[in-house]
Chain A
Amino acid sequence: MKNILLKIKNLKVKSNGKEILKGVNLEIKRGEVQTLLGPNASGKSTLSQVILGNPKYKITGGEIFFRNKKITKFPPEKRIKLGLALAWQSPPAIKGVKLSQLLNKISPKGLNLSEGKELLEREINLDFSGGERKISELLQVLALKPKLVIFDEIDSGLDIKRLETVAKIIKKELVVKGVAILIITHSGQVLNFLKPHIVNVIIDGKIVCRAKKYKKVLATIKKYGYQKCKKCK
């Protein structure tokens, strides 16, 4: 039990009256790299937002534990202080506020940057390209010094070279240092770089598969589509 960082029990979530998560169970241990695969609109991003405490979503059942604390009703900032972090898939622009201002607020001592220096004096996410957004998210997440990071579609909008750079930073700054990671993806390209210990498949608001061999699961999805995973239920 001590080794378990995040534990989600039978989580049910509604948004705008529609049930999106229909009883999700998930466990992530310290230092573990896991992935969550699923087709569009299966509930992947909702799950990540709910874990971080986005007040937009209504939890109708179940519980979330992080470092043995029940955080189901914690506000986002309290979850961040405990060591949770999320790199958004489509982060909003904050007009008039430079990325460096936000990074200074998160980490007043400053950051050792190898990437993204050119973004620091720009307004957060305003007119950023897809790749720039991912780098900006990564910088913010690193500044938080987290214990578990969820990357929501970190591979979308990145060319193969940029993806490799991002994966290298994640490895060097997080994985090697024992930070647990949950990679949400629907293409699976990033997994070849980060090699997850466990793969989860979510379909229609429920995790239907949890396996160790991500390559096998990816190959099955590639060959037969997510329909096959449904049958796996």
Chain B
Amino acid sequence: MAIKNAKNVSKMPNFWQIDHKVKNIFGIPGVVVLSSPDAWDKFSWTRKFFEEKPKEGYFVWVKREVSFPLSTCITIASPKISQNLRNLLVIEKGIKAKANVVCNAKEKKLCGIHKAKGKLILKEGVSLEYNHLHQWGEKDFVSPDYEFILEKNSRLIYNYKNLLPPENLEFKTKILSKENASSNLNLVVNSLNSKVKLQESVILEGRNSQSIVRLRLVGREKSQIEAVSQIFAKAPSKGHLDCQGLMVDKTAKISLTPQLICHNKEARITHEASLGKISEEELTYLRMRGLTEKEATDLIVSGFLNI
């Protein structure tokens, strides 16, 4: 199921790694695609971003605009695999790009580990839509740690969806925004029998930089979510956090901490946050349209996650 959906997002990924093996890799005119160890050897300038020689992962360097989305797929297909990826995406000045990134497990009970540390460099005037989809097995441990560097006048739309959660998810995102750069983050986590730690931080360090962060968390059976969502304004800038959690099951626990830090008196950062259960009135309304309680709950949750 996970693989089938992954294929829908990206039929022929530019980079596809299964377990530790690169299954598919292809560049296109204007776009360099390599494994990260090869990029370390071939382009010495990448070393400052990787810090140490990577063992696995991908390097995508967009030098020219392409009319279709770039795509990568990292899959766990065998039991007890432990991936440790270093990924790097660099987009040159003024390019408009879209990337579909899928990380998944082929089966439900592979007990895999997926650790990914990545940097995404958006040079001046770049516009990137980055769609990140996670679909994991019930026993996986997943830990992505990504840093986005938004140079002057760049734009980022980052959509993260985790609809099939792993047993453990530790998700870190950091966005560094330079002058006039802007970001829209839409992060969706559906938690079921899982422990989730989310930590996102947007640093507005350039004049007129701005960011909107929308976080939607769903706590289903036996799930625990801890989310810390931060905007740090260092320059005259604007930011808004919109964090909402839906408690679907009585065994769910959600802790949500919106954090605003302001070091500039010309900056304006705001937040709204809420945690609560599904409205009884909405449930009853949909049941009076013939839906069972479960169907009504699923429809309300799907709407809640639709940001």
Contact = CB atoms under 8 A, between A and B. Distances in A.
- A and B bound? yes
Interface of A: 52-56, 75-77, 80-81, 85-86, 88, 91-92, 94-97, 101-102, 105-106, 123, 140, 144
Contacts of A101: 299
Contacts of A76: 284, 287-288
B303 A77 contact: no
Contacts of A86: 288
22 contacts: A52-B288, A53-B288, A55-B280, A56-B284, A75-B287, A75-B293, A76-B288, A80-B287, A80-B289, A80-B290, A91-B285, A94-B286, A95-B304, A96-B304, A96-B305, A96-B306, A101-B299, A105-B290, A105-B291, A105-B295, A106-B290, A123-B303
Contact of B303 (A53, A96, A106, A144): A96
B292 interface: yes
B5 interface: no
A94 B299 contact: yes
A91 to B, nearest CB: 6
Given A56-B280, A105-B295, A94 B303 contact: yes
Max chain B C-beta neighbours (<10 A), residue from A76, A81, A97, A144: A76
B281 interface: yes
B284 A54 contact: yes
B279 interface: yes
Interface string B268-307: 0000000000011110111111111101000110111111
Contacts of A144: 289-290
Contacts of A75: 287, 293
Listed from nearest, the 6 A-B pairs whose CB atoms lie closest are A96-B303, A96-B306, A97-B303, A76-B287, A80-B290, A76-B288
Max chain B C-beta neighbours (<10 A), residue from A77, A80, A91, A101: A77
A96 B302 contact: yes
A47 to B, nearest CB: 14
B290 to A, nearest CB: 4
A81 B285 contact: no
Contacts of B279: 92
Contact of B289 (A54, A123, A140): A140
A179 B228 CA distance: 55
Contacts of A55: 280, 284
A153 to B, nearest CB: 16
Nearest to B307: A96
A88 B281 CA distance: 11
Nearest to A54: B284
A92 B284 CA distance: 10
Contact of B285 (A85, A88, A105, A123): A88
B282 A92 contact: yes
Contacts of A77: 287-288, 290-293
Nearest to B292: A77
Nearest to A52: B288
A10 B286 CA distance: 28
A205 B300 CA distance: 34
Nearest to A97: B303
Given A56-B280, A92-B279, A92-B282, A97 B299 contact: yes
A92 B288 CA distance: 12
B303 A95 contact: yes
B290 A92 contact: no
B302 A97 contact: yes
Nearest to A96: B303
Contacts of A94: 282, 285-286, 299-300, 303
A177 B110 CA distance: 58
B190 to A, nearest CB: 14
A55 B288 CA distance: 11
B272 to A, nearest CB: 14
Contacts of A81: 290
Contacts of A92: 279, 281-282, 285
A154 to B, nearest CB: 16
A77 B303 CA distance: 21
B223 to A, nearest CB: 20
B304 A102 contact: no
Contacts of A56: 280, 284
A77 B306 CA distance: 25
A97 B289 contact: no
Contacts of B285: 88, 91-92, 94
A52 B282 CA distance: 14
Nearest to A141: B289
A131 to B, nearest CB: 19
A54 B287 CA distance: 9
